[in-house]
Amino acid sequence: MQDYAMGLRKIGNRARELAPSGALLLALALILWRFFSLGLAPFIRDEPILQTILDEELFTGHRLPLLGLMGSYGLRYGPTAMWFYLPLRLFTADVRAIVFYHALTFLAAFGILYLALKRAAGEKVAAWALLFAASSPLLFFYSRQAWDNTLFTLLTALLLYCLGSLEAKQSSAGFFRVGLLCGLALNTHVIAIPVVAAALACAAPIAWSTNRRARFALCAAAPILILLATYAVGLALFWKKWQLDSSLNVHPPAGQLIPTLTQSIPGFMQFFTPYGAAYFFDDSLPAIPLGWLASGIGIWISAILGWGSVAFLAKGFRWKSAPIATRFALLSLAFALLFYAAVRPDPIHPHYFTPYWWIGFYAAAMLLARVPGRWSLVAATAAFVLVMGNAAFIGSALGFVAKNEGTRGIHLSTALEETERVTEVLCTAMTEGSGVLHLEATPGLESAPFVYFASHLEACRGKQLFYYPRMSPVIAMKHFELRYGTASPFDASLTLALIHPERKASP
């Protein structure tokens, strides 16, 4: 019996030794998975609008974009996302290339996170945090959505890494890099404010302790102010338009404080389980074979695991002795809660939580690394079960998307390859050089992807496409209607039909 117990202990010790290596290999496989079948990625509304703005500003107006998308509160965001996509767009307009280019930011973010945490907390913590991040269903689907909010994965990973580098070696260049990243984050979306405040709060004591206060103020503030000044030029143009068009009117937050916080607090940790990715599938979630993994209990598993780990991280917290990753994580969450109390964004939308994507993974990995020896194998096994459950859901969801050419909902919609295909068919059918497209029968679709594809496909060259009910007064134009396929109630493939001229009249 004693020999048997010793054998079990040896097996457990060996398993604990191999767990970080296994976590790294599995993480790599999950990271690379997101680069397959990019034609099934979403290209819904904001993504094509971003590219269309680039077309208008860069290729038509021959000027550098100074503003991004219109936000929920009526304000246009800054140009960071535009500048990010600009180098690629100088060479290609292919949407698959754009999605691939965007997915590379997640590959870079995961790699930078691993390096930053390895330096701050050791290889074991870094490996487990990387595996949790790579398996996150929400991050998987966001990595394939070429948007602006999704760039926060890379920006916050870079901030974490640069703060660690700054602590290791205080230099003017280090302060400048932190300031530059803060400015780029602020020019991406206003939800960057808590992360920027946390980064500057972490960097300031480093400058103070090394008598580099003036250098910190200059090197960190200069790039932030320069980038915000660039944004201000765009805001001046926006102000002129706002005075002429009341639809652009900026409105204050409308959410109530307590409901916002009670929904937001679990939402900060929804990256652990498939619950967060349920957002993409709308009413089609029950049809996904493993859709039940994204049920309501997922948010509570995520919240308990995430916030429980954060509480462990905060236990006995000492500013000077804590790793800078811990300081940055806890300050980001503290400022985020204050920000939510002040601004009260809609906590239903998971993109508001993207600046904090890494914090729960780091906290859980720290907890896992410190589990007592006799329980560490059990904890590691539970972590692998969580990861494999995430992978199973991702595979199930991707299979559903492939079978149905996307979804009929507004958060993933018909896949970009199907939208591109039907646009080419439409342009070929427009023998008179123009036409009107009706989307009333496909509520999950908006005109934005068709606008983009129609301006870049060869079959659409020299032709003009209008959208019902916003159409040209030309009476002779043919009207076409899109409908979903009929293979199942969830079939998001598209069929195109010429409809009766009576449909041409405006409602």
pLDDT in tens, 403-461: 999 999 999 999 999 999 999 999 999 988 889 999 999 999 999 999 999 999 999 99
What pLDDT, on the 0 to 100 scale, is given for residue 254?
65
CB 168 within 8 A of CB 308: no
User: Is residue 131 scored above 90 in pLDDT?
Assistant: yes
Compute the average pLDDT of residues 341-363. Answer: 91
Contacts 24+ apart (CB under 8 A), 212-215: 212/170, 212/172, 212/175, 215/172, 215/175
506 φ, ψ (degrees, to nearest 5): -70, 145
User: Is residue 117 scored above 70 in pLDDT?
Assistant: yes
How many helices and strands, by DSSP H and E, does the chain display?
17, 4
Compute the average pLDDT of residues 132-150. Answer: 97
Distances (CA, A) of 421 to 291, 328, 396, 414, 428: 29, 46, 25, 11, 11
Q: Which residue has the tokens 């979630």?
A: 285
**Helix intervals (H) in 353-447:** 359-369, 373-404, 416-429
Q: Please state, for a pLDDT cut of 70, what percent of the chain lies above it.
A: 90
Q: What angle separates helix 324-343 from helix 297-314, to the nearest 10 degrees? A: 130
User: Is residue 482 scored above 90 in pLDDT?
Assistant: yes
User: Is residue 505 scored above 70 in pLDDT?
Assistant: no
The b-or-e profile of 234-258 (16+ CB within 10 A means b, else e) is bbeebeeebeeeeeeeeeeeebeee
CB 202 within 8 A of CB 319: no
Q: Within 13 Å and on the Cβ side, how many CA atoms surround 360?
A: 26
Least confident of 27-41, 200-214, 242-256, 492-506: 242-256
CB 449 within 8 A of CB 406: no
Q: Please state, for a pLDDT cut of 90, what percent of the chain lies above it.
A: 66
User: Is residue 342 scored above 50 in pLDDT?
Assistant: yes
437 φ, ψ (degrees, to nearest 5): -105, 130
Least confident of 154-158, 327-331, 471-475, 496-500: 471-475
- The three-point CA angle 450-490-282 to 5° equals 80
Q: Please, which pLDDT band fits residue 351 given cuts at 50, 70 and 90?
A: very high
What pLDDT, on the 0 to 100 scale, is given for residue 507?
41
Cα separation, 102 vs 86, whole angstroms: 12
- pTM reported for the whole predicted model: 0.92
User: Is residue 335 scored above 90 in pLDDT?
Assistant: yes
Cα separation, 442 vs 384, whole angstroms: 40
- Beta strand 464-467 with 434-438: parallel, antiparallel or unpaired? parallel
DSSP characters for 114-173? HHHHHHHH-HHHHHHHHHHHHH-HHHHHHHTS--SGGGHHHHHHHHHHHHHHHHHS--HH
Q: Which residue has the tokens 């041409």?
A: 504
Residue 269: partners with Cβ closer than 8 Å, 6 or more residues away: 302, 303, 305, 306, 307, 360
Cα separation, 447 vs 52, whole angstroms: 12
User: Is residue 349 scored above 70 in pLDDT?
Assistant: yes
Among the listed residues 353, 337, 196, the one whose alpha carbon sits nearest the alpha carbon of residue 272: 353
Q: Please, which pLDDT band fits residue 343 given cuts at 50, 70 and 90?
A: confident
**Secondary element (H or E) of residue 481:** strand 478-484
CB 213 within 8 A of CB 219: no
Would you give the distance in Å from CA 357 to the centre of its chain? Answer: 9
Least confident of 61-65, 113-117, 273-277: 61-65
Range among 54-68, 313-327, 379-393 with highest mean pLDDT value: 379-393
**Secondary element (H or E) of residue 472:** none
